[in-house]
Amino acid sequence: MECSVPLSWRVEKMCLSKDKSSLTYNEFLTLGGITHDPDRPNDSEYIVRLLGQVITVSLETVKVVKA
């Protein structure tokens, strides 16, 4: 399969579809079928904890790369 759009991972503008079921990364990549609802009825603080974990991993990664 040949692609007419040159391969580039650079993101100029990502776009979420109106129904929030797909994310266009760039001209050649669209992620579809986004159906997961991250809210947990029995754990209202889950998202805040998850964001904290992502931030921690990101900061630790920066430390490792600098070392």
pLDDT of residue 27: 78
Residue 65 confidence (pLDDT) above 80: yes
Q: What are the angstrom distances between the C-alpha of 7 and each of 2, 52, 58? A: 11, 33, 26
Domain boundaries, the chain: 1-36, 37-67
Q: Which residue has the higher pLDDT, 58 or 29?
A: 58
Looking at residue 1, its pLDDT comes to: 54
Going by pLDDT thresholds of 50, 70 and 90, the confidence category of residue 66 is very high
- What is the spatial distance between Cα 42 and Cα 16, in angstroms, rounded to a whole number? 28
pLDDT tens figures, 2-53: 666 667 777 778 888 998 888 888 877 888 876 677 788 898 898 899 889 9
